[in-house]
Amino acid sequence: MSLNTTLETTNDTAKIFLSGELDGSTANSFQEKIEEVTNLALNRLVLIMEDLEYMASAGLRVLIFAKQKMGPNVDIYIVGAQEMVLDTIEKTGFHHSVILLDEYNP
């Protein structure tokens, strides 16, 4: 399976929609999207993960990279993560560094 990423930006918010599987072979495309938004004046990075079926440690590394690159003044939201993806985020403690939501309503 592959990973599909779509980026939308509005004002001070960037949304990245992820679907498919985020693993070692697909993490680069997600990281490219993160790099696209790091130079924008953002307050929020919203990662829509309801269609993301799987996330390996390579995907988690990109999330950590995103948190580091965006800095402390940018809130990162993880929205609609499926149980398997959420489990990976929680087992590593990364859920303390982001905001987990079932739905995102700006």
Q: Report the predicted TM-score, pTM, of the whole model to 2 decimal places.
A: 0.93
Structural domains in the chain, sorted by start: 3-101 (3.30.750.24)
Return the amino acid letter for 84: M
Question: For residue range 50-67, what is the model confidence (pLDDT) as tens digits?
Answer: 999 999 999 999 999 999
Distance CA 60, CA 85 (A): 10
Question: For residue range 5-36, what is the model confidence (pLDDT) as tens digits?
Answer: 999 999 999 999 999 999 999 999 999 999 99
CB atoms near residue 28 (< 10 Å): 11
